[in-house]
């Protein structure tokens, strides 16, 4: 267990511990010391999304790193995957993303990448945390780190996105609506699409520091759906605030999630004989996704929820393609982390080369109905009783292999998430409620 780090870095409400300026100062100092202790380059790349508080945290991290004798490269507003890419190409020891992803503007946080552009190892993360408890000791004045802004950061990442698809690919003739969530991709995503030849309609591209994710982006796709229908566009894409997730909309205005995107990508890679192994999903990937891959003979494995767990399983399996229904898709042959722009471009490549629209391409997969109940529990939750386990086993047996049940205590709030999937909506609703009742009886006992 860690004191500060959650499933994806450190995150919380601005002004409340640990998301404060003084903590960011100590965090930067601790990272600088940890890099030196491990013989890693004393250089850190810092990027951020469009939250107003990003200015404050950028300055605090910069001061902390410099006080530890570490140099800094400032990228300004950039997508999370861009920071991973530039950390690697600039040969930095680590990268920091100041972002709270899809959360509202009053939240913020810190995500980290190693010099290879991957999430920090558990050991490095633990060592970094331990140094946060130490007093801040300045290096000698002559050794204070220097900070520089990377003027061409956006251009470097745009070229990286374009190189992720064949040089012969053009999006000419394709009308794309792109929703940037008033976030980190507000300049980059429209430019990438435009330079590849698409007709672009951009929405959610007017950040003011406080409107990130508000009514736009992958967590609020209704604006995108309406714009695609209104303009008669061929498809739409909705990124989240930091650009590592994306959802798509077809020409009928129907939403495609990460499972459906992965299915289209995996099927095409299999046809082109470039699918290395299988696909990694998570405990929350739709059962219909697993069934559809099975029908194609494509191996499928489930990791714990969180992109770092998907990444770890891809490495362990020697596979390249994985992700989550939320639209966090990892293509290890192209990137080291989830990248909304790169993932969308691969699907657009399938659209252009096949001559089919997204509506047709998604037909080979049927999403199973899903019920998710958040059942309040007394913290700390000690796990299900024997009776609740018996109820879960009985409900699972009743699905007869045509569905599944996930019983998962939340890592962030005192609830148990009961997820039931199956072919019949009425049946799975009854099963979910039966399990929820068992949990409620536990609390009452």
* Average pLDDT along the chain: 95
Task: Note the pLDDT of residue 86.
Answer: 98
Quote the pLDDT of residue 174.
Answer: 98
Residues 207 and 263 grouped into a single domain: yes
Same domain, 298 and 348: yes
- Show which of 151, 180, 212 is a domain's final residue: 151
Mean pLDDT of 338-367: 97
Mean pLDDT of 139-155: 97
Say if residue 236 is in the same domain as residue 191: yes
Of 364, 390, 407, the last residue of a domain is 364
Residue 1 is assigned to a structural domain of this protein: no
Give yes or no: residues 182 and 323 share one domain: yes
Which member of 53, 67, 101, 164 is catalytic? 101
pLDDT for the residue 133: 87
145 and 209 housed in the same domain:
no
Residue 2 lies in a domain: no
Domain CATH for 250: 3.40.120.10
Residue-wise pLDDT tens digits, 160-195: 999 999 999 999 999 999 999 999 999 999 999 999
CATH classification at residue 439: 3.30.310.50
CA–CA dist 66, 261 (Å, integer): 42
Amino acid 305: pLDDT:
87
Q: Say if residue 230 is in the same domain as residue 303.
A: yes
Helix 340-354 crosses helix 188-195 at what angle (to 10 degrees)? 30
Of 47-61, 78-92, 413-427, least confident by mean pLDDT is 413-427
Asked if pLDDT for residue 225 goes beyond 80, the answer is yes
User: Are residue 162 and residue 135 in the same domain, yes or no?
Assistant: no
Domain count, the chain: 3
Identify whether residues 407 and 300 lie together within a single domain.
Answer: no
pLDDT (mean) for 93-122: 96
Span 263-315, pLDDT tens digits: 999 999 999 999 999 999 999 999 999 999 999 999 999 999 888 899 999 99
- Kindly state whether residues 312 and 239 are assigned to the same domain: yes
308 with 383, same domain: the answer is: no
pLDDT score at 33: 97
Residues 175 and 190 in one domain: yes
In a domain, 116, yes or no: yes
178 and 305 part of one domain: yes
- Catalytic (active site) residue 101: yes
From 151, 175, 197, give the residue that closes a domain: 151
Residue 326 φ then ψ, to 5°: -65, -10
Please write the tens of the pLDDT for every residue from 228-272. 999 999 999 999 999 999 999 999 999 999 999 999 999 999 999
Domain that includes residue 110, residue range: 10-151
- Amino acid 1: pLDDT: 52
């Amino acid at each position: 267990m860690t004191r500060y780090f959650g499933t994806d870095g450190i995150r919380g409400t601005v002004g409340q511990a640990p998301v404060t300026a003084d903590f960011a100062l100590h965090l930067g100092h601790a990272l600088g010391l940890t890099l030196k202790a491990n013989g890693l380059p004393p250089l850190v790349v810092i990027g951020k999304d469009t939250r107003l508080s990003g200015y404050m945290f950028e300055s605090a991290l910069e001061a902390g790193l410099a006080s530890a004798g570490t140099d800094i490269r400032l990228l300004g507003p950039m997508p999370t995957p861009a920071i991973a890419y530039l950390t690697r190409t600039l040969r930095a020891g680590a990268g920091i993303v100041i972002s709270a992803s899809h959360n509202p503007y009053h939240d913020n946080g810190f995500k980290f990448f190693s010099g290879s552009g991957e999430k920090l190892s558990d050991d490095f993360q633990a060592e970094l945390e331990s140094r946060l408890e130490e007093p801040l000791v300045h290096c000698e004045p002559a050794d204070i780190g220097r900070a520089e802004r990377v003027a061409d950061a956006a251009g470097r990442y745009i070229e990286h996105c374009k190189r992720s698809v064949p040089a012969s690919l053009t999006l000419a003739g394709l009308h794309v609506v792109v929703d940037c969530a008033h976030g980190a991709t507000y300049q980059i995503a429209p430019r990438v699409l435009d330079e590849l030849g698409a007709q672009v309609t951009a929405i959610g591209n007017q950040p003011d520091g406080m409107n990130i994710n508000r009514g736009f982006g992958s967590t609020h796709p209704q604006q995108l759906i309406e714009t695609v229908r209104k303009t008669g566009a061929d498809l739409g894409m909705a990124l989240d605030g930091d650009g590592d997730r994306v959802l798509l909309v077809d020409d009928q205005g129907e939403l495609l999630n990460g499972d459906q995107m992965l299915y289209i990508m995996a099927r095409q890679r299999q046809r082109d004989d470039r699918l290395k192994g299988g696909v990694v999903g998570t405990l929350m990937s739709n059962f219909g996704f697993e069934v559809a891959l099975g029908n194609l003979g494509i191996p499928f494995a489930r990791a714990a929820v969180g992109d770092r767990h998907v990444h770890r399983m891809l490495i362990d399996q020697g596979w390249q393609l994985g992700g989550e229904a939320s639209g966090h898709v990892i293509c290890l042959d192209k990137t080291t982390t989830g990248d909304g722009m790169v993932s969308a471009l691969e699907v657009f490549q399938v659209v252009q080369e096949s001559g089919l629209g997204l509506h047709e391409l998604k037909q080979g997969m049927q999403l199973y109905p899903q019920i998710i109940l958040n059942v309040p529990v007394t913290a700390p939750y000690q796990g299900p009783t024997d009776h609740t386990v018996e109820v879960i086993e009985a409900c699972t047996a009743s699905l007869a292999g045509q569905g599944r049940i996930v019983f998962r205590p939340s890592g962030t709030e005192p609830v148990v998430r009961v997820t039931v999937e199956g072919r019949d909506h009425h049946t799975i609703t009854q099963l979910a409620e039966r399990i929820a009742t068992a949990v409620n009886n536990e609390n009452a006992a």
